[in-house]
Chains A and B, each alone.
Chain A
Amino acid sequence: MLYTIIPFEAIFDPDLESGPLQSSGDEVEIKQGSVSLLTQPLPGGQFKINRIISTDPQDYLRPEWQPGSTMSFF
């Protein structure tokens, strides 16, 4: 059950599902130690970081984890 100020029509609007801002239906969560990185897979085996999930504020200052930067495992 939702308790929110956003109208339910806005939350579940089918027209908004593939908006231009976030085409993140295929978002991939990558674990780096205790930190989770929400990334978007790019062609070529790379991942673009969208969001950092951590409680340590210092993690947000790490240059390699800045949103928009890419990472790869090869």
Chain B
Amino acid sequence: MKNNETNSGETPYEPTPENPHEPGLEQPIRQSPRKQKMVLENLKSVGQMTTAAPVESKIHTMIIVGQIEGHLILPPKNKTTKYEHIIPQLVAIEQNPNIKGLLVILNTVGGDVEAGLAIAEMLESLSKATVSLVLGGGHSIGVPIAIATDYSFIAETATMTIHPLRLNGLVIGVPQTYEYLDKMQDRVIKFVTSHSKISEERFRELMFRTGDLVRDIGTVLVGKDAVSSGLIDEVGGINQALKKLNELIELKSPPLGKETQQ
């Protein structure tokens, strides 16, 4: 063991005699001597490397794909993200002091209104740093989820469809049904306009625009359009999203010891 320890101190400084063919490019990836020593000390105290639980990530991620499933279980052919999976995860993230930030990745076609709004509200009220990234698509009820985080990104090619709510399976005939639909729609509009830079007039205009979609009313926002409309904060990918998340973590966490830096 003693032998190992002295070795670990030396290797980062003299990598060539042991590994003469190693390309120079890989050098920056090497761990610092201090970190290597820490790993080694861990190894010593645990005795075995494989059985040790992997280090818990500071940043956790939540992937919202397919249909957001809420009150109604969808037929198995649909790819879904279930409300009962997401909500307990968010509670666990809020409670775990080791988790500093959450990256939400969206590629969703929409889904249950109340499940979507519940996830959005949970994200909005989470005390940890949160960043969302819309990849592929963040349509319909995916919109409030995307904007519920502290900062939002959209990939250049990703799209967001904004359209009115529709009733299906219910017989429209009583005025109460219209009222109910209107109320549900207002919940979505209110959440979106109060948590993003888009104004209510502009959002309603996008929602009821005709001629943009071939068979429907509404608007498709592609990457930059989502940013220019004020819905999303920035166009970017995983790199920018993680950078921003780390920035937000720094801002949210009080400067303690060196432990938080690690």
Contacts and interface: CB of A to CB of B under 8 A. Distances in A.
Indicate, yes or no, whether A interacts with B. Answer: yes
Interface string B92-134: 1100000000100000011111101000000000000000000
Nearest to A61: B54
Given A2-B110, A4-B67, A27 B76 contact: yes
Interface residues on B, range: 35 or more
Interface in A37-63: 53, 55-58, 62
Nearest to A52: B63
Interface residues of A, number: 27
Given A3-B165, A5-B161, A56-B57, A19 B140 contact: no
Contacts of B188: 3
B60 A6 contact: no
A11 B74 contact: yes
Contacts of B87: none
A32 interface: no
Interface string A1-22: 1111110100111101101011
A4 B76 contact: no
Contact of A8 (B59, B112, B137, B168): B168
Interface of B: 54-57, 59-62, 67, 72, 74-78, 85, 89, 92-93, 102, 109-114, 116, 137, 139-141, 161, 163, 165, 167-169, 184, 188
What 5 pairs across the A-B complex have the smallest Cβ distances? A4-B110, A55-B60, A16-B77, A3-B141, A8-B168
